[in-house]
Each structure stands twice: as C-alpha cells, then as structure tokens.
C-alpha cells in the first residue's frame, strides 16, 4: 500500500479538519520525524495494528502504561466486570481504598495518597501542596524534565544559574512562571548555589529521578543525595515525579533504586494500566494539608473512577508476580544490547541505556547525562532509523527526545525480530 492510498493518510487528513494538527497530544503527530501518524485500530501483547491492518511491534506502550502488554486478559476482565457495575458514581468506593493501600504498601515514602486522572494533575497538585505547606512560592525544576502541562511547570530550560524561566508555551503569563527556577540536570554546584542564594524561599524541588522526557537520562546518585540534603536543610519539599518511572524502573520506582526518600511522589501511567489514573502522595503530615481536612484545595469529577481503578489495581497485582521486573529488565537490556551490536556492525554511532522496562537510544558515541548532551545526538539519522523501523513494522517513539518502553509481552522472539530489522535499517542509514 503506498503512502497516498494509505487509510492512515485519509484519516490524518480528516482528523486535521476537526482537531488541531489531527491529534490529541502533540507528539503523536510525527512533527519531529515527518510523515503520517499511524491510526491504531487494536493492540494485543507487544503489538498494535494500524488502519491499513499493518502490525507493529510497539515500543511506546501508550507512553508507559502498557507494562503487562496490551489487552492483558486479566486487565480486560477486571475492566469489563467493573463497567458492568456502573461507570462513575461521584461517591467513594472500596476499590479506591484498595489501590491506595497497595500504593502505600509498595512505595514506603507514601503514607497517604490522593487519586487523580492524569500525571499533569498529580504534579500540579503536588506543587500546590508544597507551596501551601511551606508558605513559599518558588519552585525548582530541571532542564529537560517534563512534569505535565501545568502553567508553572511548562518552562523552558534557562541558560544558566538563577535564570528565571521563560514560558515554553504561548498562553502562560510571565507572572505565572516567574517563580519557576530552571537548573541543569545533574549539576550539583548549580543546585547548591540556588539554595545558598534563595533557599528559604524555595517551596519545592521537582525532579524525574530517572528522566524519560529527554530520551532516557539517569540522575547521578550524588545529585539526588545532595538534592535530598538541601531540601531537608532549607525546609523545601522534595517531589519525585515518578509518573513515568513509577512501577516501570522497578516495583518501588526510582526512589527505591536510588535509596532516596522524597517528601511527595507523583505517579501515573502504570497505576492506571491504560486507563486514566494518576496519584500524588507522601508523608501523612503533608497530605493532611489537602482538602477536605486541610486548606489546600484539589478535586476531580472522575478521580478514583471505578473502571480505571480496576485496570490499575489488576496491573499492580500483575507486576508483583515473581520475577516480573527481573524478566522485564533482562528483555529491555537484551533489546539495547542487540540494537547496539547491530549499529556497530553497520558502523553507525549509536549507544543505548536501560533502567527496568525503560530504555534510551542515542545516535551519539556516549550516553548523555544532560539535556544539552542529549540534544547533540544525530537527529537526522534518528529520523531515518525511525522511518526505516516503521516500514519494517517496529514502532519506536516518533522523536529522538523520548524514552522507549518494553512490556512483559516482549519475549525473545519479539526482541530478535526487532534486532533483525534494526540490522537491515542500520545498514541502510550507515
């Protein structure tokens, strides 16, 4: 089927009539890589199929949630059973208690948790809580970390220390972001300077401890340790945004991996199992500042939705099966090793990294540790790789700046098929 007669093209043209850019979330639009987005009709295990009936091995996994593979029978059954009892009540359910108890048990820094419907809501509410609890306005974030699209978090990276950010998006008033300080990821002296000069006005530091929105970049253990010390010393709230890394890099998230206890944690993606559930939680003494017990307001018509909670709870049970993360990590490492070897054979500058079920692919000689280093990768070659793999039936994230996701359904045969395709594509783009 040619591009011209593809149903994807027809659907994309139609979508653009009624939806800005034809998509409901910008990265789906292939703006970075060019070409026509694929319109997905169904998904199962490690695969999805587009409107032309073409099958792809899927490495975005709905950008994280599909950790047990698409349409897992137990998740589907839980959703069907819950739906049969009604879709939404606007009154509490036992299911909400169960998933809260499960999250608190699995992530020890979380003593109390509030369910919301998106990662954006989780980080936005955590920020409000941090400001409400400290009575301070300033927040610290890091270049390249994405925390959803709340106004004060949509701030472009500043070029240097103490540069207050410019809004990344039109429509965000300067006044809203003047309290947002953007620092370099993994830069300890810069963080120390920021606290030394204005530590008693900083409400919180928010960080992706394993960053997944500037490709995959690990925080160094020293960076996070120092961050924890400074927050404690100056009375600022440390927020780990684990919307992506939670239940993805391991059962206890990045905080377990690094052995660092944040004050608040934002979760999403996996805890909804593909339906809209996210959460923020932390020390009870902080969480009790939330309405209705405390003065910090936050609410949601569909928060703790019974069908979504059923999908999330079932997914959280499945990831606790014996050896789940060992196998997931091994498969992800196998993929990265296979891609790296295939690139080497073809003489393409490439390296990769993986943490749990998350991976990064870099068209450069070294694994980056900052946003700047990641941006220096060979974007043009990535784009050719992306399209080559897409033609081969392998769907990677359509931008060099994104991490990839492996699910429990990506068995050896799927990984081998991917690597074989990569061998052909690397040879073509060398």
Give least dist CB 206 to ligand PLP, A. 9
- Considering the rule CB under 6 A, would residue 304 count as an interface residue with ligand PLP? no
Q: Tabulate helix, strand, coil % of the chain (nearest 5).
A: 45, 15, 40
Contact 71, 318 (CB under 8 A): no
Using the minimum distance from each CB to ligand PLP, give the nearer residue, 67 or 243.
243
Using the minimum distance from each CB to ligand PLP, give the nearer residue, 342 or 358.
358
Using the minimum distance from each CB to ligand PLP, give the nearer residue, 120 or 134.
120
Reply yes or no on whether 146 is catalytic. yes
Q: Angle, to 10 degrees, between the axis of helix 306-318 and the axis of helix 73-84?
A: 150
Which one from 241, 325, 362, 395 is the annotated catalytic residue? 241
Contact 356, 332 (CB under 8 A): yes
Position with the least CB separation from ligand PLP: 119
Question: Of the candidates 116, 244, 342, 425, which one interacts with ligand PLP according to CB under 6 A?
Answer: 244
The CA–CA distances, whole Å, from 124 to 103, 139, 340 equal 19, 12, 38
Per-residue interface string for the shown chain with ligand PLP, residues 119-138, x marking contact by CB under 6 A: xx--x---------------
- Considering the rule CB under 6 A, would residue 93 count as an interface residue with ligand PLP? no
Question: Of the candidates 128, 136, 147, 228, which one interacts with ligand PLP according to CB under 6 A?
Answer: 147
> Which of these ranges, 112-120, 130-138, 179-187, 405-413, lies near ligand PLP under the rule CB under 6 A?
112-120
Which one from 56, 146, 362, 395 is the annotated catalytic residue? 146
Using the minimum distance from each CB to ligand PLP, give the nearer residue, 253 or 338.
253
Using the minimum distance from each CB to ligand PLP, give the nearer residue, 63 or 362.
63
- Considering the rule CB under 6 A, would residue 208 count as an interface residue with ligand PLP? yes
Compute CA 282 distance to the chain's CA centroid, rounded to the nearest angstrom. 19
Question: Of the candidates 253, 268, 304, 338, which one interacts with ligand PLP according to CB under 6 A?
Answer: 268
DSSP state of 36: P
Using the minimum distance from each CB to ligand PLP, give the nearer residue, 128 or 147.
147
Contact 188, 370 (CB under 8 A): no
Segment 340-349 long-range contacts (CB within 8 Å, at least 24 positions apart): 341/419, 342/419, 342/422, 342/423, 342/426, 343/422, 343/426, 345/423, 345/426, 345/427, 346/423, 346/426, 346/427, 346/429, 346/430, 347/430, 348/381, 348/426, 348/429, 348/430, 349/378
- Considering the rule CB under 6 A, would residue 152 count as an interface residue with ligand PLP? no
Compute CA 95 distance to the chain's CA centroid, rounded to the nearest angstrom. 25
Question: Of the candidates 96, 241, 263, 402, which one interacts with ligand PLP according to CB under 6 A?
Answer: 241
Site for ligand PLP in 25-84 (CB under 6 A): 63
Compute CA 135 distance to the chain's CA centroid, rounded to the nearest angstrom. 29
- Considering the rule CB under 6 A, would residue 274 count as an interface residue with ligand PLP? no
- Range 219-233 burial, b when 16+ CB lie within 10 A, else e: beeebbebbbebbee
Q: Which residues bind ligand PLP (CB under 6 A)?
A: 63, 118-120, 123, 146-148, 208, 212-213, 241, 243-244, 268, 278
Question: Looking at the annotation, which residues are catalytic?
Answer: 146, 241, 269
């Amino acid at each position: 089927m040619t591009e011209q007669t593809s149903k994807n093209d027809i659907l994309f043209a139609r979508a653009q009539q009624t939806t800005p850019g034809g998509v409901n979330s910008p990265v789906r639009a292939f703006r970075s890589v060019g070409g026509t987005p694929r319109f997905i009709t169904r998904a199962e295990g490690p695969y999805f199929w587009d409107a032309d009936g073409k099958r792809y091995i899927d490495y975005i996994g709905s950008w994280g949630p599909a950790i047990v593979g698409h349409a897992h029978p137990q998740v589907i059954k839980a959703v069907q059973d819950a739906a049969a009892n009604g879709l939404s009540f606007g009154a509490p359910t036992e299911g909400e208690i169960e998933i809260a108890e499960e999250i608190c048990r699995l992530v020890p820094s979380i003593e109390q948790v509030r369910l919301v419907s998106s990662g954006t809501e989780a980080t936005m509410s955590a920020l409000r809580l941090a400001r409400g609890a400290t009575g301070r306005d300033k927040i610290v974030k890091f270049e390249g970390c994405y925390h959803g699209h709340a106004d004060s978090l949509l701030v472009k990276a500043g070029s240097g220390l103490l540069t207050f950010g410019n809004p990344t998006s039109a429509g965000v008033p300067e006044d809203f972001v003047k309290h947002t300080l953007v620092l370099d990821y993994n830069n300890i002296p810069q963080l120390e300077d920021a606290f030394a000069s204005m530590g008693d006005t900083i409400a919180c530091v928010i960080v992706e401890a394993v960053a997944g929105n500037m490709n995959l970049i690990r925080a160094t253990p020293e960076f996070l340790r120092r961050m924890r010390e400074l927050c404690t010393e100056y009375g600022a709230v440390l927020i780990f945004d684990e919307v992506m890394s939670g239940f993805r890099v391991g059962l206890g998230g990045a905080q377990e991996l690094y052995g660092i206890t944040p004050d608040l944690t934002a979760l999403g993606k996996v805890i909804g199992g593909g339906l809209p559930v996210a959460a923020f939680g932390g020390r009870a003494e902080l969480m009790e500042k939330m309405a209705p017990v405390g003065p910090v307001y936050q609410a949601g018509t569909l928060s703790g939705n019974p069908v979504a909670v059923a999908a999330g709870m079932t997914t959280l049970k499945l990831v606790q099966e014996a050896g789940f993360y060992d196998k997931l990590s091994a498969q992800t490492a196998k993929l990265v090793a296979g891609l790296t070897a295939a690139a080497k054979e073809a003489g393409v500058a490439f390296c990769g990294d993986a943490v749990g079920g998350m991976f990064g692919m870099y068209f450069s000689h070294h694994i980056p540790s900052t946003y700047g280093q990641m941006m220096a990768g060979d974007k043009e070659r990535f784009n050719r790789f992306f399209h080559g793999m897409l033609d081969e039936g392998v769907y990677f994230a359509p931008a060099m700046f994104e991490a990839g996701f492996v699910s429990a359904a990506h068995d050896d045969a799927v990984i081998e098929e991917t690597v074989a395709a990569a061998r052909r594509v690397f040879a073509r783009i060398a």
